[in-house]
Amino acid sequence: MSTVAFICAAKLISHINYIEPTRTKMETLMYNGEIVRRDIEQIYKGLYLEAVCCFEHFLEDLFIGLLTGRFKHPSPSVVPRVTFKSSKVARDIVLGGHNYVDWLPYNHTKQRANAFFRNGLPFTLLEPRDKQIIEQICHIRNAIAHQSNHAKKQFDDKVIGDIPIPPRDRTPAAFLRSKFRIAPVQSRYENLIIEMAGIAIKLCRL
Q: How far apart are CA 10 and CA 144, in angstroms?
A: 26
Mean pLDDT of 133-157: 96
pLDDT band at 2 (very low <50, low <70, confident <90, very high): low
Partners of 117 in the beta sheet?
80
Dihedral of CA atoms 159, 163, 200, 87 in degrees, nearest 10, equals: 10
For residue 123, the surrounding DSSP H or E stretch is none
Per residue in 51-89, pLDDT (tens digit) is 999 999 999 999 999 999 999 999 999 999 999 999 999
Mean pLDDT of 190-201: 97
Predicted confidence at residue 155, as pLDDT, reads 97
Q: What are the Cα distances from residue 126, in Å, to 50, 111, 121, 129, 191?
A: 23, 14, 10, 8, 18
pLDDT band at 1 (very low <50, low <70, confident <90, very high): very low
For the beta carbon of residue 122, count every other beta carbon within 10 angstroms: 23
Check pLDDT > 60 for residue 34. Answer: yes
Predicted confidence at residue 11, as pLDDT, reads 95
Check pLDDT > 50 for residue 95. Answer: yes
Beta 179-181 vs 71-72: how paired, if at all? Answer: unpaired
Predicted confidence at residue 160, as pLDDT, reads 97
What is the residue-averaged pLDDT of the chain? 95
Q: What is the DSSP string of 28-88?
A: HHHHTTSS-HHHHHHHHHHHHHHHHHHHHHHHHHHHHHHHHTSEE-S-TT--BSS--S-HH
pTM for this prediction: 0.95
DSSP classification of residue 117:
B
